[in-house]
Amino acid sequence: MYIAVLLISFLAALSLTPLVKRFAIKIGATDQPNNRKVHQKVMPRLGGLAIYASFMIGLLILQPDSPYVWPIVIGATIIVVTGVLDDMYELSAKWKLVGQILAAVSVIAGGVHVDFINMPFDGRIDLGIFAIPITLLWIIGVTNAINLIDGLDGLAAGVSAIVLLTITTMAAMNGDIFIVAIASILLVSTVGFLFYNFHPAKIFMGDTGALFLGFMLSVISLLGFKNVTLFSLIIPVVILAVPISDTFFAIIRRFLNKTPLSSPDKSHLHHCLLRLGFSHKQTVLLIYLMSGFFGTAAILLTQSTLWGALIIITLLMIAIELIVELVGLVGDKYRPLMNLFRRESNPKRQ
C-alpha cells in the first residue's frame, strides 16, 4: 500500500505539472526576466500547485493516523493560496507575511510546537512562554529560506528533495512512521515536478512551490526531531544548513551594507557560484552536493557520542565559514578565517 501511494504521488506530479504549465500560461501567471533574475525568457509559474496536489492525493489515499494531519493540511493550503496569489498578482511582502503567519498559527494551534530543547549532559531548556514565538519564527524563517534559494532551475526543488530524503531516512531509523509517510510522499511529489524544473526548466515552482516546500520542511523537521535526545534543535538546522546559511549571511550582508533586509540582491550562494565561473547546471549540482554533505553530517550527528557530536558541529561550522569566504557570500573582502590561516602558515619574521 505504502509503495503504491508513493508511485501514485510521483505519477501525479509527472502528469499534473504539464497541465499546471498550460494553466499558468493561460491566466498569465508568468515570470518576466529582469536584471536580478538569471532566466532570459518568460516562464510559467505556479508549478508548486502540482507538488501540492500530488502530495494531497498521496495523503488522501494513505490517510496516516495522526492528530497533526488536519493542521498540516490547513496550514499547507493557506500557504499555497498565498503563493498562488503572489504568483498571479505579486503580493507585497506584508501580505505574504500575513499568509505565512496564518499558516504557521494553524499548525501551532494543532499542537506543532517545540516546548523544550534537549542539551548535552542530560540538560534540558524548557521554553515556557517562548515556545510559541520560537516555533513561529522557525516556521516563517525556514519558509522564507527555501523561497530565497529559488533562483536557479531545479535548485529549490532539488535541495528540498535532498532534505526530505535525509528526514525520511532518519525518521525510518527512529521508527517514526508518520514522518516517514508525509516526508516520503512530499519527496516523490517534488522529484516528479523536478523532471520539468531541472535545467533547462520548462516551468518554475513560483512562490506557490517555494513557500509550500519551505512551510512543509519547517513543520516536518519540527515534528521529526523535537524529541531527539542530543542537541534536538541542532539536527534540523544542520539538515537545512544550505538555505539557512544563505539566508543568515544575506541578513549579515545587508546589515553591513546598510540596506533594508527585504531588499533583493544578486549575492546569494547561487549568484556567487555563477560569478566564479560555474555554469548554471554546475552551480545547481554543487549546491546539491553541499546539501547532501550536510544531510549526511546530520545522520552521523544523531549516531554520535557527545564528544563526537561536538567535533562534527565544530567541523561543520568551520566548513560553512570557509564556503562563505571562498564564494564571497558576505563580500569579497570578508575573509577572517582564511586570513587567520595565512598568518599562522606564514608568520612574520622577527
The Cα–Cα gap between 22 and 17 comes to 9
Rounded to whole angstroms, the maximal C-alpha distance in the chain is 74
CA distances to 29, 88, 159 from 304, rounded to whole Å, are 48, 47, 25
CA distances to 49, 153, 261, 305 from 203, rounded to whole Å, are 11, 9, 28, 45
* Residue 119: φ, ψ to 5°: -125, 170
HEC-encoded secondary structure of 25-51: HHHCCEECCCCCCCCCCCEECCCHHHH
The Cα–Cα gap between 118 and 111 comes to 19
C-alpha cell at 200: 533547462
User: Which residue from 94, 111, 87 is spatially nearest to 23, judged by alpha carbons?
Assistant: 87
Number of neighbours of residue 124 by Cβ within 10 angstroms: 10
C-alpha cell at 320: 560553512
The Cα–Cα gap between 204 and 150 comes to 9
CA distances to 27, 172, 193, 242 from 245, rounded to whole Å, are 36, 27, 25, 5
Q: Is the Cβ–Cβ distance between 167 and 183 less than 8 Å?
A: yes
* Residue 118: φ, ψ to 5°: -75, 140
Please check if 346 is assigned to a binding site: no
Output DSSP code: residue 228: -
Please check if 144 is assigned to a binding site: no
Binding residues: 147, 207
Instruction: Indicate the annotated binding residues for Mg(2+).
Output: 147, 207
